[in-house]
Amino acid sequence: LIPLLKGVPPPSLVGHGKMKGTPEIPPTQSVEKRPAKELFLTLPGTNDRMPQVGLGMCCRPTAYDDVLAQRTVAWFLLLGGRHIDGAHLYLNHEAIGRGIREAMARGGVPRDEIFITTKVFPSHFGYNTTLNTV
């Protein structure tokens, strides 16, 4: 529904990998360094440091085609990004996960450096329900 409001048909209507956008990652692409002056937020309770700048996975054509969403996430991580924001409503959690796995396999992006934030419907609140949703 959200992509249609912006005039972008979702892949469920146009087909997997049919949209144009994020290019394939060349086999020679390696992991680049994280930004030199990267800004962080300290998370209460754990004191973990989460990057303030992240990749939002909504509201552009490449976010709604599962092939392009996977490539976008993998590119972002290989180029030094480490924070990805999604939502259950965007219907691209699986593609985000594939992009993370691809970046980890291709270039050794450490999983413990990646932060994923998401939003769920109120009807999916609760630890077990949320876990099953995402």
Q: Give the DSSP letter of residue 23.
A: P
SS3 88: helix
**Could you give the angle at the alpha carbon of 2 between the alpha carbons of 98 and 103, nearest 5°?**
15
- Within 10 A of 102 (CB to CB), how many other CB atoms are there? 19
Sheet containing 55-56: which strands, arranged edge to edge? 55-56, 83-85, 115-117
Tokens representing residue 73 in the block: 């996430």
Report, as residue numbers or ranges, the catalytic residues.
Answer: 90
CA dist 111 → 48, 71, 93 (Å): 14, 17, 16
